[in-house]
Amino acid sequence: MDKELEHQFVKNLEKHQNIAHKICRIYTNDQDSHNDLFQEITIQLWKAYPKFRGEAKFSTWMYRVALNTAITLYRKKKRSIKTQDFDTVDFKIKAEEYDDETEQQLKVMYSAIQELNDIEKALVFLYLEDKNYRDISETLGITEVNARVKMNRVKTKLKNILNP
């Protein structure tokens, strides 16, 4: 039974691992931290898995546990290597896909995200993932109005960084 559950879980996670990778990407700056956080997310998901009864989709459930891990449960380890450029970590996009200006713009945006606090990062992440305000407010445990106001503030903040 346990083996079956394990197999089912790993299969599910393998299929939806992008969610965890993207969260790691928002919340960490280097590959080692990325791997650490990914591992902690996996452990937390696995610990909570017996309670997952398939009422929601695995991916929906995963967003919540993974974000909780990144924001609340994960303890950052002290590392000697400090920040690394966001886009040099592991998601390289070929330069020729964008013109210079666009590429520069994106670079500024991604490094601006790194400067946001944990909650603002969660808002940006959920926005980028096309989540609606109801989902966002439920995941974070705040009212929808509050979620809207906060989101608008973060958008303004990012826009200001982009067009000073």
Partner 1 sequence: MDGLDLLKKDWKKREGNIPQLSYDEIYKMLLKRSSSIVKWIFVISILEFLFWALITIFWADHEYWAEMERIHLKEFTVVTYVINYGITFFFIYCFYKNYRRISSTDSVAKLIKNILRTRKTVKYYIGYILISTALITLIYTYFFMNYHASNTVVEDVEKYSFTPLQWLMFAGIMLGGLAVFLGIIWIFYRVIYGILLRRLNRNYKELKKLEV
Cβ count near 137 (within 10 Å): 19
- The residue within the footprint of partner 1, chosen from 47, 57, 79, 134 (CB under 8 A), is 47
User: Which residue, 80 or 97, has its beta carbon nearer to partner 1?
Assistant: 97
The span from the CA of 10 to the CA of 54, in Å, is: 15
Residue listed under structure tokens 């906060």: 150
* CB-based contact 99:67 (threshold 8 Å): no
- The residue within the footprint of partner 1, chosen from 8, 32, 43, 79 (CB under 8 A), is 43
146 lines the binding site for partner 1 (CB under 8 A) = yes
Residues 97-116 that bind partner 1 (CB under 8 A): 97, 102, 105-106, 109-110
43's CB contacts (< 8 A; 6+ apart) are none
The DSSP symbol for 130 reads T
The span from the CA of 126 to the CA of 142, in Å, is: 14
Tokens of 130: 């096309």
92 lines the binding site for partner 1 (CB under 8 A) = yes
Least gap, CB of 82 to partner 1 (angstroms):
18
Residues that bind partner 1 (CB under 8 A): 6, 9-11, 13-14, 17-18, 21-22, 38-40, 42-44, 46-48, 51-52, 61, 64-65, 67-69, 71-75, 90-93, 97, 102, 105-106, 109-110, 117-120, 122, 127-128, 130, 138-143, 145-146, 149-150, 155, 158-159, 162-163
